[in-house]
Chain A
Amino acid sequence: MSDLITLNKVNKTYRRGREQVHALDGVDLTIQQGEFVAVVGPSGSGKSTLLNIVGAMDQANTGKVTIANQDVTALNEKGLTHLRADTIGFVFQQFFLQPTLTARENVLLPTLFTRQKYLESRADELLARVGLAERADHLPDELSGGEMQRVAIARALINQPKILLADEPTGNLDSHNAEAIYGQLDELHDEGLTIIVVTHSEELALRAERRIHLLDGRISDDKTQGKTRVA
């Protein structure tokens, strides 16, 4: 497996009022292609900041970040936009589905902004894959929370990303729907997709093969674990 993401001595600080907050403090991290990584830790430990930097949504103050062989710290706004569009798929706790677009149209939304072709057949394949083939023409308010998150996963995959970033993907779901999402993530990992999830859910963290624990902006623990699967 090759290195897909590397962080070298990454620092990130920001101001909260008069206070200087060290969100990330000299973080070194390497994630290899095809890994399923769970980032855990208490609130304020720097999990979301790490996700923002790995997702090229935010820049480190110091240190070097490389994603898919691209030095992120050297990229301008246009380069960052292309990197996000072509390399990374995002899934958030809030589904960010456009309420006036059907499930299929929501899945196809990223293709409006990239050089990808607007292929309805590809969207239908992805919806079928997440078990929503029959719901392609439904609007988000006609879908359950779990279904909406599955549409969001299909949308994250439309541009065939190398990395799937998920920020609390089951935070708004009940256990039944959360289990369906875990299953989707497992399948994607089995197919070789690199997955990084930030979560408070121990159940989801147990599904990952690697667990990174953050505390006060530093990696306090980084271990490989056996994946838990539900039969």
Chain B
Amino acid sequence: MNLLTLSLKNLQRRKLRTSLSMAGVAIATAALFSLLSFNTGFDRALQEEMANSGIHMMASTEGCPLEAASLALHGGEIPKFLDARRLPEISDMPGIRTAAGMLIFSLIEDEGKAIFFYGVGDNYRDLKPHWKIRGDWFTGPDSIILGAEAARVEKREVGDKVYFPGIDAEFTISGIVERTGSEDDGFFFLPLDTAQKVFKKQGKLTAVGISLANVEEFEQVKGKIETLPDVYVVTKDQIMQQISSLTGSSKTLMAAVLVVALVVSFLGVINTVLMSVFEMLREFGYMRCIGASPGHIFRIVLFETLLLCLAGGVIGAIFGMAFASVTDQWLHNLLPYAPAGRFILFDPLIIAASILFAALAGVLAGIIPGLKAAHASPMEAVRNV
């Protein structure tokens, strides 16, 4: 037996109180683990998605091309349009592998919910190589492809018809994109010509997604495209930065909630240990009688909080991993733009950092109760109660 095991056994004396405090630390650690994982996981997933999409740059019109490009990815209506005549001009440029035109429109349903329509050409599939379509690509001008979530909400299957009163148009579902975990899941894809006709934007495009045959020619191709009238080019990195800034407020909010959770759990641990110190003052007084120094008593209490927080930290990290898929799903629903793929993956460094943080909080939380206990005089043992 040593001071550490004595502290451990002290914790076992108040099982319920210890368990509740440990649960508080576990929740805070799980939240910390999720946030740290999210911060790295989001950027990784975004990079992977951009890499998978094959889009190296996007062309849009004057105004706010950066916003247009990012909205083209995560859904949103842009009031300025690119002349569709630019599409073949871009496609014919040397060094271009794919140039896919897009027209994006939103429709507000009776319930106030926005439906996003993507008018896309056949070569759009080249920018989505990871798509798995149940059914077929567009089979005619009145066909439509639904994202997995859109199909689920509309309760539609391949071959069903879907009518949109807002534009007074009916389409036949030729295919449903299997769940990607990205914004694509909620979109309605129309043939580009049909979209231009339905939304009365013939000869107009929202943006052109471009992939290059050779990435080393990036600057040359970009320069050439920008010589076209009213065309502005936004690079993949710029789009990623724009998307990251869109999620910035969500990240700030989550960080704020996390700070509150950490503070509450920290105070909870101090309160728990302080209560136990008050209850044990006479015992500490007795320990002083039998040779314990103030340093011994301080260490007993400090080890107690350290063990409590360390155990809570380990449990929290395990729970964080165990519920990673639930947290992932929640974050995908919460964020204004969520790239496909998992945010929270097993990362030993993040797990270690979360547990270390909990342990550090334990040491800090132990200082006040530890000092209080260390001041216990041997006289406490004989004090009348």
Contacts and interface: CB of A to CB of B under 8 A. Distances in A.
B1 A108 contact: yes
B180 interface: no
A155 B287 CA distance: 12
Contacts of B283: 96, 98
Contacts of A114: 291
Contacts of A73: none
B5 to A, nearest CB: 9
Contact of B290 (A58, A101, A109): A109
B378 interface: yes
Given A57-B379, A112-B1, A113-B291, A96 B286 contact: yes
A130 to B, nearest CB: 17
A156 B290 CA distance: 8
Q: Most chain-A CB neighbours within 10 Å: which of B3, B6, B291? A: B291
B3 A112 contact: yes
Interface in B265-296: 282-283, 286-294, 296
Given A78-B293, A81-B288, A57 B10 contact: no
A51 B382 contact: yes
A99 interface: yes
Interface string A68-94: 000000000110011011101010101
B9 interface: yes
Interface in B212-231: none
Contacts of B291: 81-82, 84-86, 110, 113-114, 159
B84 interface: no
B252 interface: no
Contacts of B2: 112
Nearest to B296: A113
Interface string A38-68: 0000000000100110011110000000000
A124 interface: no
B289 A55 contact: yes
Contacts of B289: 55, 57, 84, 88, 90
A118 B5 CA distance: 14
B13 A57 contact: no
Contacts of A98: 6, 9-10, 283
A159 B290 CA distance: 9
B381 A113 contact: no
A101 B287 CA distance: 14
A228 interface: no
B12 interface: yes
A128 B182 CA distance: 73
B75 to A, nearest CB: 59
B282 A113 contact: no
**Interface of chain B, helix or strand or loop or mixed?**
helix
Report, as a range, how many residues of chain A touch the other chain: 35 or more
Contacts of A51: 382
B1 A118 contact: yes
A101 B382 contact: no
Interface string B308-339: 00000000000000000000000000000000
A186 interface: no
Given A52-B379, A92-B381, A114-B291, A99 B13 contact: yes
A99 B378 CA distance: 20
Nearest to B292: A113
A96 B282 contact: yes
Contacts of B290: 84-85, 90, 109-110, 113, 155-156, 159
Given A100-B9, A110-B290, A159-B291, A105 B382 contact: no
A98 B11 CA distance: 12
A167 interface: yes
Contacts of B292: 81, 112-113
Contacts of A118: 1
Interface string A143-173: 0000000000001100100000001000000
B9 to A, nearest CB: 4
A137 to B, nearest CB: 13
A63 to B, nearest CB: 18
B9 A81 contact: no
B3 A100 contact: no
B1 A105 contact: yes
Given A84-B288, A100-B13, A114-B291, 18 more contacts: A48-B382, A51-B382, A52-B382, A55-B378, A56-B378, A57-B288, A77-B294, A81-B292, A85-B291, A88-B289, A90-B286, A90-B381, A94-B282, A98-B6, A105-B1, A109-B290, A110-B291, A113-B291
Interface of A: 48, 51-52, 55-58, 77-78, 81-82, 84-86, 88, 90, 92, 94, 96, 98-101, 105, 108-110, 112-114, 118, 155-156, 159, 167
Interface of B: 1-3, 6, 9-10, 12-13, 282-283, 286-294, 296, 377-379, 381-382
23 contacts: A57-B377, A57-B379, A58-B378, A77-B294, A82-B291, A84-B288, A84-B290, A84-B291, A85-B291, A90-B289, A90-B290, A94-B282, A98-B6, A98-B10, A98-B283, A100-B12, A109-B287, A112-B2, A113-B291, A118-B1, A155-B290, A156-B290, A159-B291
